[in-house]
Chain A
Amino acid sequence: MTTIKGRVRKLGDNIDTDIIAPGHTLQLPMEEMKKHAFEPIFPAFYKTIQEGDVIVAGKNFGCGSSREQATAVVKALGIRFVVCDSMARIYLRNCIGLGVYPILSQGISQLFEEADEIEMDIQRGGVKNLRTGEKTHFEPLSGTPLEIFEAGGILSVLKKRTEKKS
């Protein structure tokens, strides 16, 4: 079953890593770090999150630092999909490596408002707004990134390599 539904959490353009995981929170345990995620633009965002919520953002999501806490904290909040017009390169790699599915499609953010219900088909690359009925497409992960994602992330692949050798 590759069709997944979730509630949309709508964010804007250029949501950078200092917004997602502010520098002063990087040494905190994840349970504490979570409380500060998106704080500069949305204090106490974590209180409004439900498991399975889907971020829908504009362009250049995750621009900035390589800090993978910015991906890990999104996952820790219970978000498994980030849908956006475009995503910064290191953030995209971190999503693939840490197991947050990236859905990138130019203009996709225009189709959704806060709290809409989104339906995603990650095999066929389809996205639907269940409120408006509007649909669009994206290119599903393929090749090496898909292999890593399906293996459970880069550390699962690494774990297998260490076991093979020892």
Chain B
Amino acid sequence: MTIVEKILARASGRSKTSPGEYVTAKIDVAMMPENFRLIHGIINEAGIKEEAFHLWDPDKLVVVTDHRVPPTTQATAENQKLIREMAKKLGVKYFYDLFQGVCHQVMVEKGHVRPGELIVGADSHTTTYGALNAAATGIGASEMAYVIHTGELWFRVPETIKIQIHGKLQEGVHSKDILLLIAGKYGTEVAQYKAIEWTGSVIDEMSIDSRLTMGNMSVELGAKFGVFRADQKVMDYVKARTDKDFDPVESDPDDVYAEKYLIDGSTLEPMVALPHNVGNGVRALEVKDIKIDQAVIASCCHGRIEDLEIVVKVLKGKKVCPGVRFYVAPASWEVYKEALDKGLLSQLIEAGVMIGNPSCGFCTGIQGVLAAGERCIAATPRNFKGRMGSPQSEIFLASPATVTASAMKGRIVDPREVM
């Protein structure tokens, strides 16, 4: 069995599962970001009596207000008020309100993600937690209402594909480039309904921060889960954050995969996904004369400490190109504080970067909104039409290194041009 087959077997009380089977599995942790606001309306519209709706386990639900932080409209303020009331009424033990960060970063930092666990989140990028050897995936709010009352959910056991990245990444090439290459070369449905196991020497070398980006973007390849082995880096990261017991899971050594992809990491180059799809990846070198109005490093995909260190390294004390709005938002307040202590933020401010507060806003058209005809290069997970504002604007996806280099030049460039 593969990692995911083993986790689903354990969670559904079976000794074995096979791809294609339907199982009802017990959920180890459930996470709701700001759409927790919907729960009240969902149960009322369904005619469920509020007094009959209680949490299956108050210890296992995590709620994070993160999307519209701080609120800029009264509608949002009212919704967040409702969230606080609901969290109190339902007795949510782990409620992170406004001052913690983007939900997925908060989940891993606060020790809510542990190897071998089955986790669902009411957000598509829940696949992020695969970096810590958890089988984690996104579901809608109504299914989440079902989960937080019953503690279980149905799954179709997915096939697992193995993507092995061997060799060594060149200077200026990062985990985001691997994702954009795969999405461009094999398509954004290469892992549709499937689980990905990320392996190989490049993965072994990679930091947890970089792996989180890959788990995060596994969903952009269609994946249900995007998991990694629990190596020493994972064990050290998790043990520093939780006292709870956990059981890491490994795939069996025999041939358990539906398909295998082998990618030579040494040949990879910085990539850019052109508007309006993650699958529109091209080499950054090939993008000519695309002037930008805005550059963004933020969201659940980036804005971790490693990303901020890359920005400083690429800037090398130089300034952002006049006329370019460069926004960097740390993914959490823990990252923010660490960046402050390391002196990274003052260097960014010196260079002309605007530091945003941790939130989902820069990726989703809530902060740093684009006007018609504007172009943005972003280290975020998606470049869908209109996602950051006007449907007549354009979003180009890239790594933090490429975004920074482009912000310095005022046009999209390969980061090796400034390094």
Question: Which residues does A use to contact B, with CB under 8 Å?
Answer: 14, 16-19, 22-24, 27, 39-41, 59-60, 63-68, 71, 86, 88-90, 93-94, 97-98, 143-145, 148, 153-159, 161-163, 165-166
Q: Assess the B365–A88 pair: CB atoms within 8 A.
A: no
B35 and chain A: residue at smallest CB distance: A67
Query: Top 8 A-B pairs ranked by shortest CB distance?
Result: A68-B140, A155-B46, A40-B391, A40-B386, A18-B384, A162-B52, A66-B138, A94-B140
**Chain A nearest CB: distance from B212 CB in Å?**
18
Q: A97-B140, A159-B46 are in contact. List 13 more A-B contacts (CB 8 A).
A: A16-B385, A18-B382, A19-B386, A27-B75, A40-B391, A67-B35, A67-B140, A88-B192, A90-B139, A97-B143, A98-B140, A154-B145, A163-B52
> A152 to nearest B CB, angstroms?
10
Can you name 28 A-B residue pairings with CB atoms under 8 Å?
A14-B188, A18-B382, A18-B386, A19-B384, A23-B366, A27-B75, A27-B76, A27-B79, A39-B386, A63-B188, A66-B124, A68-B140, A68-B141, A89-B193, A89-B224, A90-B139, A94-B142, A98-B142, A144-B24, A145-B154, A148-B154, A156-B46, A159-B46, A159-B47, A159-B48, A161-B150, A162-B53, A166-B52
Known: A64-B124, A93-B140. A39 touches B53 (CB 8 A): no
Contact residues in B for A68 (Cβ distance below 8 Å): 140-142
The answer, yes or no, to whether B42 is at the interface (CB within 8 Å) is yes
Contacting residue for B42 out of A16, A19, A155, CB 8 A: A155
Bound form: Cα–Cα A82–B24 in Å: 26
Contact A60/B222 with A93-B140, A158-B146 known, Cβ cut-off 8 Å: yes
Residues of A within 8 A of B384 (CB): 16-19, 64
Size bracket, chain B contacts: 35 or more
- Contact at B193–A155, with CB atoms within 8 Å? no
Question: Do A66 and B139 form a contact, CB below 8 Å, given A23-B365, A158-B146?
Answer: yes
CB of B18 within 8 Å of the partner chain: no
> Given A66-B124, A88-B192, A89-B222, A157 and B146 touching (CB < 8 A)?
yes
State which residues 246-262 of B face A: CB under 8 Å.
none
Q: Is the CB of B22 within 8 A of A88?
A: no
Within the complex, the shortest CB–CB distance from B89 to chain A, in Å, comes to 15
In the bound complex, residues from chain B placing their C-beta under 8 Å from that of A94 are 140, 142-143
Chain A residue with minimal CB distance to B121?
A: A66
Answer yes or no: B316 CB below 8 A from chain A CBs: no
Chain A residues with CB below 8 A from B193, complex form: 89
B-chain residues with CB within 8 Å of residue A59 when the two chains form the complex:
189
CA distance A95 to B109 in the complex (A): 33
Number of A-B contacts (CB under 8 A): 126
Q: Tell yes or no: B364 within 8 A of A by CB.
A: yes
Q: A18–B79 Cα gap in the complex (Å)?
A: 21
- B112-167, CB < 8 A from A: 121-124, 126, 138-143, 145-146, 149-150, 154
Q: With A154-B146, A155-B146, A158-B145 given, is the CB distance from A90 to B140 under 8 Å?
A: yes
B-side contacts of A163, CB under 8 Å: 52
Question: How far apart are B225's CB and chain A's nearest CB, in angstroms?
Answer: 10
Q: Does chain A have a CB within 8 A of B176?
A: no
Q: Can you name the residue of chain A whose Cβ is closest to the Cβ of B365?
A: A23
For A39, A98, A159, A162, which residue has the most chain B Cβ atoms within 10 angstroms?
Answer: A162
Residues in chain A near residue B42, CB distance under 8 A: 155
Cα separation A22 to B188 with both chains bound (whole Å): 21
- Look across to chain A and name the residue whose beta carbon is closest to the beta carbon of B141: A68
For the complex, what is the distance from the CA of A155 to the CA of B140, rounded to whole Å? Answer: 12
Is there a chain A Cβ closer than 8 Å to B288's Cβ?
no
Q: Given the complex of chains A and B, what is the CA–CA distance between A60 and B188 in angstroms? A: 8
> Are A90's CB and B138's CB within 8 A?
yes
Q: Which residue of B lies closest to A41 (CB)?
A: B385
- Asked if B22 and A161 make an inter-chain contact with CB atoms under 8 angstroms apart, the answer reads no
Is B387 part of the contact surface with A, judged by Cβ < 8 Å?
yes
A19 contact set on B, CB distance < 8 A: 384-386
Minimum CB distance partner of B364 in chain A: A23
Q: How far is the CB of A34 from chain B (nearest CB, A)?
A: 16
In the bound complex, what is the Cα–Cα distance between A165 and B149 (angstroms)? Answer: 11
